[in-house]
A and B are shown apart, each in its own frame.
Chain A
Amino acid sequence: MDAAVRSRSGTTAVISPLRPLVKAGRSREPVIEAQIRALLVCSDLELESRLSIADRADAGFVSEEAAVYLLRERHRAGDGEGATRIAERLVARSAGYVSRQIAAWNMRPHSHADDCMQDIYADMLQCLFDLSPGAEFWEVRFWLCLKRRVTNVVHHYAERRQIENSLTQARPDDDDQAQETDISDEAAPSGFARVEDRDAAAEALSQLPPNERATFVLRNYEGLPQEEIGRILGVSERQVRNRLVRADRLLRDWRARQMQ
């Protein structure tokens, strides 16, 4: 439905319908559509001013989804610089979120964290400027699309870190060796495996190699039995038990270091 709006000069203008989302079943929230329509008749200066409003309760606040729509429309129209300025605003908005995610992964030294954050933003920019239907979901759920990118990038940096810290990287044949300590599904878990203090456990999880972390989470957060974990991960129950033993040992070592 066309929307009749009053332009800056005071005359009434009719603007085209908003570009629909291509993929079936997707829709924008009405409040976002209303924001977009209001912004389409803003001057560049007004838009810049509204994009810098950080208070979400402010009537002039522009949602990230609306900002992405405008960015893509400018890019589509060939205004690359205008689109990039909107991207800069989205970077500023998301800096707190991205830095908290990096902090949770205990990424040290800072140069690794900085490189990781730069890669996250490079990925985000690539998506925002991708006009294919595959990238339009950023106009619907910006923060979850960003969260997925953050998860992927930090995971790969963490994997690389584990490879560099090869002392903690399990050799493939370690998985299948008989261990002195066995963990049954009913056995009492260690302090971390109990996950009553979930935040402390979650903070320590970033220190685990990927295989051990996945096994530990499936056991202690998802509550799956070892047999099912083995089936899901494509490993034997012995390998599952060995990974849990190693995870437990690594987490206890980490906690001991934190207490020193």
Chain B
Amino acid sequence: MDREVDRDELYVRWTEDRRAAAPLPLSEWLERYPSCREDLLLWTADAPIADLAERRPTYPDGEARAEAAGARAVAEFRARYQSPIESLLSSAQQRGLLPADLAARVGIGEPVLYKLERRMLLVATVPGTLVRRIAQTLAVSVDQIAAYVAQPPALARGAMYKSDRAPRVGAQQEFAAAVRTCPEMAEEEKSYWLELAARECGQDG
């Protein structure tokens, strides 16, 4: 299964092969790495332009503009990575993502996402892969997401409680249990995450 093929490593191998005396045909690459088909076609189609760029000069103020663009990216990066996350869903909203979008991009069901939002999952049972995907999707650091989910559980936002007693947060749940009981995840998705949870956190798949 090449689902987890490292794209960088594949790109390096593909690039170096192109320079070889007898490079592999494109069809061979597509056959060996079917899950990377779109990437391989993109690299092939854009290669003449990328190769040309290495031989041509930039426009007159190009390098200065690139440095300025880089400086802006670093400044944004500094600001973003220094502040604690207040809410996964708010961070997603700032990037124009609805909860359903965030859930879809990281590959979990919305109910599981909401449990993460409220820190209702035992942090030791949440796979690092999920934390990284959320960090990458929200363009924040893994540490920020990890710090967020490690906080105590929270009440549901906007929940109205009609009770004589103060509302209490329910008990936290294992990630694997949340996935197993999620009504919005396909069996294939569940198997994927349960397998990861078993591998990364020693949970029963």
A residues in contact (CB < 8 Å) with B: 23, 26, 80, 84, 87-88, 91-92, 94-96, 98-105, 110, 113-115, 117-122, 124-126, 129-132, 134, 137-138, 141, 144-145, 147-148, 150-152, 154-155, 198-199, 201-203, 205-206, 210, 213-214, 217-218, 221-222, 224, 228, 232-233
Contacts and interface: CB of A to CB of B under 8 A. Distances in A.
A160 to B, nearest CB: 15
B44 A202 contact: no
A113 B65 contact: yes
B69 A151 contact: no
Interface string B72-92: 111011100110000000000
B2 interface: no
A89 to B, nearest CB: 10
B41 A232 contact: yes
A203 B52 contact: yes
B70 A91 contact: yes
Contacts of A94: 66, 70
A103 B58 CA distance: 6
A125 B62 contact: no
Contact of B50 (A95, A150, A198, A222): A150
Interface string B134-148: 011001011000000
A100 B142 contact: no
A141 B69 contact: no
B47 interface: yes
11 contacts: A91-B71, A98-B70, A99-B59, A99-B65, A117-B65, A118-B72, A122-B76, A137-B9, A155-B46, A202-B52, A222-B26
B45 A214 contact: yes
Given A99-B63, A232-B41, 8 more contacts: A95-B64, A125-B74, A131-B142, A141-B8, A145-B11, A202-B52, A214-B44, A233-B41
B99 interface: no
A95 B27 contact: no
A95 B70 contact: yes
Contact of B53 (A104, A129, A232): A104
B46 A151 contact: yes
Contacts of B8: 137-138, 141, 144-145, 148
A199 B56 CA distance: 9
Contacts of B73: 91, 118-119, 121-122, 124-125
- Nearest 9 interchain pairs by C-beta: A91-B70, A99-B62, A104-B53, A121-B73, A117-B69, A95-B66, A214-B45, A202-B52, A99-B66
Contacts of A210: 45
A152 B42 contact: yes
Nearest to A213: B45
A96 B26 contact: no
B171 to A, nearest CB: 30
Given A84-B77, A202-B52, A100 B67 contact: no
A121 B48 contact: no
B41 to A, nearest CB: 6
B128 A132 contact: yes
B15 interface: yes
Q: Which of B30, B50, B139, B141 has the most CB of A within 10 A?
A: B50
B166 interface: no
Contacts of A124: 73
Nearest to A105: B49
A155 to B, nearest CB: 6
B49 A148 contact: no
Given A96-B63, A104-B50, A88 B58 contact: no
Contact of B57 (A98, A102, A103, A213): A103
B187 interface: no
A220 to B, nearest CB: 9
Contacts of A137: 6, 8-9, 12
B136 A95 contact: no
Contacts of A151: 42-43, 46, 50
